[in-house]
Amino acid sequence: MTAGVTLPLWLVVLAGVLALIGLLDRLLVPSVRWFVRSRANKVLDEVGSRLRIQIRPFQQTQRQVLIDRLLYDEKVQQAAAAFARGQNMPREVVMARIRGYAREIVPAFNAYFYFRVGYWLGRKIARLLYRVRVGYTDNEGLARVPPDAAVVFVMNHRSNMDYILAAYLVADQAALSYAVGEWARIWPLRQLIRSMGAYFVRRNSRDKLYRKVLERYIVMATQAGVTQAVYPEGGLTRDGRMRAPKLGALDYMVRGFDPEGERDLVFIPLGINYDRTLEDRSLLLGLDENAKKTGALRAAWNTLAFAAHQVRLMSKNEWRRFGYACVNFGTPLSMREFERVRGLDFRKLAGEERYARIAELGDHLMGSVGKLIPVLPVPLVALVFERNAGKALSELELKSEVEILIERLEAAGAHIYIPRRDRDYAVTAGLRMMLLRHIVEERDGLYAADPAQATLLRYYANSIAHLLAE
């Protein structure tokens, strides 16, 4: 008689789970992949006829192939060899680290997720929260951009909504690939963002090996003509003013550019502004030295309180959208023309001269972006109150001050969005938003800024104050 074998219950359950996973991997996962791939191919066929800048073969290449191409790139291999020698580390260990970096960086673009899921979500979210408008557009300049050019949209960074707004408004022209920070690496957001063509970046990383892998990926994508979006400021503005540009991404993009090559590199400046940014109070915590110690905790608390307040307003049917969000598209800058006029070839520059020339390019692009930032009702009214600090204004006086300010802004070449083409309505809309947020108070028919909200008032005024300074 054969003796029986008794197994622990946990082992039986574990074996069953592993068997189920194996079955799913063999039967269901290939079917799901085939389904998603077939949907993506249908979307590619559909959108290919209407996109002005076509989706490049690079974006349709399997992710593992791109990872391998990056891993065995000549300059990455040279960096790996130098790192192994310098750290006295086995080459296999260094290559394993590089493979991890490559897997972290390289996206997995899927046309179905981008143009169906992503576009639908972006459109719904943007239009739910804001009255979305496209203000000024240099149509003639945009029409001159060659269809095969590597296009890079360069924009200011006011809110995390910038990603959604830019992708939504450019979706009829191209599929954007952009860099996102560590905040987007949480599950399941990570998978969705990667399928949208975004690549992950470790902000302020000082790991030279990582920076070389990131550089080579950006160079590869740019040379392949992938349409990208960059935020040279590197992070969200804290005080409302534009930040000094960080030049790393721009430097990477021009490193491999051949002015005599078949494909031009074209930068398109883009200016974004909002009547209300979702993160304004949390961002302002960064200006308070005492609040920095508990900044993350207070920012999280502010976010939860903000969300709870919006839900409460919705339940009372008192919720309103956050005013206007506007985007302006400026005149494209051809790198081929930029280098020709200045007698440059960035591939041949090094050291201080290269840094100086990259800084010149960065200042030129961000100067163009700054001139494009839309003047909206809330920033317009905020700037009037900022310049009349401590003074109470009647509605007539406020409108008169706004008229004077608009004339000065127009003389300076600013792009002003006037809702309904009615200046009185613009003042009313901006004032109403500021009264609802208690930035401005009304007493006996006179309006004055609340001193306790001076920093928040200045934040919105700063978004357009530079237009007068110029």
Cβ atoms of residues 260 and 417 within 8 Å: no
Instruction: Kindly state whether residue 310 falls inside one of the protein's structural domains.
Output: yes
- pLDDT category of residue 306 using cuts at 50, 70 and 90: confident
308 and 389 in a single domain? The answer is: no
More confident residue, 191 or 424: 424
Q: Say how many domains are in the chain.
A: 2
Q: What angle do CA 398, 399, 403 make, to 5 degrees?
A: 120
Domain range holding 451?
377-469
More confident residue, 256 or 298: 256
384 and 450 in a single domain? The answer is: yes
Instruction: Kindly state whether residue 86 falls inside one of the protein's structural domains.
Output: no
Whether the per-residue pLDDT at 29 is higher than 60: the answer is: no
Instruction: Kindly state whether residue 233 falls inside one of the protein's structural domains.
Output: no
- pLDDT category of residue 466 using cuts at 50, 70 and 90: very high
Cβ atoms of residues 56 and 196 within 8 Å: no
Instruction: Kindly state whether residue 145 falls inside one of the protein's structural domains.
Output: no
455 and 382 in a single domain? The answer is: yes
pTM: 0.87
Alpha carbon 43 to its chain centroid, in Å, reads 24
The predicted model gives 29-42 an average pLDDT of: 56
Whether the per-residue pLDDT at 51 is higher than 90: the answer is: no
383 and 454 in a single domain? The answer is: yes
Q: How far is CA 449 from CA 238, 276, 425, 438, in A?
A: 20, 17, 20, 9
Instruction: Kindly state whether residue 451 falls inside one of the protein's structural domains.
Output: yes
389 and 465 in a single domain? The answer is: yes
The predicted model gives 206-226 an average pLDDT of: 94
Instruction: Kindly state whether residue 142 falls inside one of the protein's structural domains.
Output: no
Domain end among 287, 303, 321: 321
The predicted model gives 94-98 an average pLDDT of: 95
Cβ atoms of residues 282 and 291 within 8 Å: no
Whether the per-residue pLDDT at 365 is higher than 70: the answer is: yes
- pLDDT category of residue 5 using cuts at 50, 70 and 90: low
Which pLDDT score, from 0 to 100, does residue 25 have?
52
% pLDDT > 70, the chain = 85
Instruction: Kindly state whether residue 349 falls inside one of the protein's structural domains.
Output: no
382 and 303 in a single domain? The answer is: no
The predicted model gives 172-191 an average pLDDT of: 76
The predicted model gives 142-159 an average pLDDT of: 94
Condensed to tens digits (0 to 9), the pLDDT of residues 308-359 reads 877 787 777 777 899 999 999 999 999 999 999 999 999 999 889 999 999 9
The predicted model gives 354-369 an average pLDDT of: 95
381 and 464 in a single domain? The answer is: yes
Least confident among 43-52, 287-296, 366-375, 418-427 = 287-296
Three-class secondary structure assignment of the chain: CCCCCCCCHHHHHHHHHHHHHHHHHHHHHHHHHHHHHHHHHHHHHHHCCCCCCCCCHHHHCCHHHHHHHHHCCHHHHHHHHHHHHHHCCCHHHHHHHHHHHHHHHCCCCCHHHHHHHHHHHHHHHHHHHCEEEEEEECHHHHHCCCCCCEEEEEECCCCCHHHHHHHHHHCCCCCCEEEECHHHHCCCHHHHHHHCCCEECCCCCCCHHHHHHHHHHHHHHHHCCCCEEECCCCCCCCCCCCCCCCCHHHHHHHHCCCCCCCCCEEEEEEEEEECCCCCHHHHHHHHCCCCHHHHHHHHHHHHHHHHHHHHHHHHCCCCCCCCEEEEEECCCEEHHHHHHHHCCCHHHCCHHHHHHHHHHHHHHHHHHHHHHCCECHHHHHHHHHHHCCCCCEEHHHHHHHHHHHHHHHHHCCCCECCHHHCHHHHHHHHHHHHHHCCCEEEECCEEEECHHHHHHHHHHHHHHHHHHHC
Q: What is the CA radius of gyration of the chain?
A: 26
- pLDDT category of residue 9 using cuts at 50, 70 and 90: low
Which pLDDT score, from 0 to 100, does residue 309 have?
74
Instruction: Kindly state whether residue 79 falls inside one of the protein's structural domains.
Output: no
CA–CA separation, 438 and 434 (whole Å) = 6
The predicted model gives 6-10 an average pLDDT of: 58
Question: Can you give the CATH number for the domain in which 465 is found?
Answer: 1.10.10
Mean of all residue pLDDT scores within the chain: 87
Condensed to tens digits (0 to 9), the pLDDT of residues 264-298 reads 999 999 999 999 999 998 889 877 655 555 555 66
